[in-house]
Structure 1
Amino acid sequence: MAEARKPIVNPKNLDLDHWRQGSFFECRDASFGMLLGLDNLGVSYGEVPPGKSGCPFHNHHVEEELFVILEGEGTYRFGSERYAVGPGDVLAAPAGGPETAHHLINTGTVPLKYLAISTVAATEICEYPDSGKFLAKTRRPGEAKASFRFIGRAPSTADYWDGEPGV
């Protein structure tokens, strides 16, 4: 019999993963959608220190995201615009091209705390306009981790038939 899941999670009780990358990216966060029994909706809680961002500027081709600011102040970089955000603000990140690229930057003096909610697609392509990278990933139903994940840049292309036997 499958383990019964409790339909309630309080972010205060989550075991947060603390990570840093370089001098600008840092976050304490945890994903907990699956703890709630959600297979097609991603939910996470994040805390970003002052002067930092929790992720690179990126856009999704398939998945949509929504952020709810709980505490702190920041800047929501969205496409070519920047918006001041604070407690109670709800931020949309619809699927699309670079015009929907986004990330949060903590411009305040205390940790920026937020909930992130997203659709969970089996296959996704993300672009990173600042660095020219892309991410391709896919996952099998019911699995949290991607079964295929590739990050690269697009200056190299190949014909559909390139390298195939007999061509």
Structure 2
Amino acid sequence: MSSPILNLDEVQLRGLDASDGPSPDVPPGYDVRWGEIASRIGARKLGYNLTVVAPGKRNCPFHSHRSEEEMFFVLEGRGELRMGEDRYPLRQGDLVACPPGGPETAHQIINTGDTELRYLAVSTMAEVEVCEYPDSGKFGAFAGGEARFRHIGRATDARDYWEGE
């Protein structure tokens, strides 16, 4: 078994570094860097990662979870939490709760400072999850395990249950 202890200075970041320039997969305004922690310390029901965001950027689209709950702990930097229709300033030492729900719990962290924003992200790990993206009108349906499923679409493309049967 691996050690149940990991120091943050041992977490290796992956993803797109802002210095890599634009990516065809990641739109401007985003900085997608994180370091996976949970599996390295033996976690089973919670996911943990270190997230790093460059000044003026955000890590992910504004979204809500129907199953998973998230918690963020700001380690360094300043930012802004966008949650539902509200915005809140963030600074080192702040804790943020993002419970499951609909548009009222949609959230996004934006780095509004002039240095990197670093935060610890902790979440429950639901086997099946639905995320909604209010800004774009999309949803994502995800299922893990051996038969992985991932679909991102729009509710306007709904079909009748019996269509094509």
TM-score calculated relative to the size of structure 2? 0.91
Which residues in structure 2 correspond to 1:61-140 (within 5 Å)?
Answer: 61-140=66-145
Q: Secondary structure at the match of 1:115?
A: strand
| Paired residue total | 157
Residue 17 of structure 1 deviates from its aligned partner by 0.7
Which of structures 1 and 2 has the bigger CA Rg? 1
Q: Which runs of 4+ in 1 moved over 4 A?
A: none
Counterpart residue type for residue 161 of structure 1: W
Contact kept in structure 2, 1:27 and 1:49, CA below 8 Å = no
Residue 14 of structure 2 is aligned to residue 12 of structure 1: no
- State how far apart, in whole Å, the 2-side matches of 1:138 and 1:27 are: 22
- State how far apart, in whole Å, the 2-side matches of 1:27 and 1:122 are: 23
Q: Secondary structure at the match of 1:12?
A: helix
Contact kept in structure 2, 1:58 and 1:101, CA below 8 Å = yes
User: What are the ranges of 5 or more consecutive residues in structure 1 without an aligned counterpart?
Assistant: none
Counterpart residue type for residue 18 of structure 1: G
2:41 matched to which residue of 1?
36
- State how far apart, in whole Å, the 2-side matches of 1:139 and 1:23 are: 29
- State how far apart, in whole Å, the 2-side matches of 1:44 and 1:61 are: 20
Tell me how large the CA RMSD over aligned residues is: 1.3
Which structure has more helix as a fraction of its residues?
Answer: 2
User: What are the ranges of 5 or more consecutive residues in structure 2 without an aligned counterpart?
Assistant: 17-22
Which of 56, 70, 73 lines up with 1:51 in the alignment? 56
2:19 matched to which residue of 1?
none
1:158 matched to which residue of 2?
159
- State how far apart, in whole Å, the 2-side matches of 1:78 and 1:159 are: 33
Q: Percent identity?
A: 48
- State how far apart, in whole Å, the 1-side matches of 2:131 and 2:28 are: 23
Counterpart residue type for residue 151 of structure 2: F
Residue 28 of structure 1 deviates from its aligned partner by 2.1
Q: What CA deviation, in whole Å up to 9, does each residue of 1:1-47 have, x standing for no partner?
A: xxx12101122112211316222010321122111111210000011
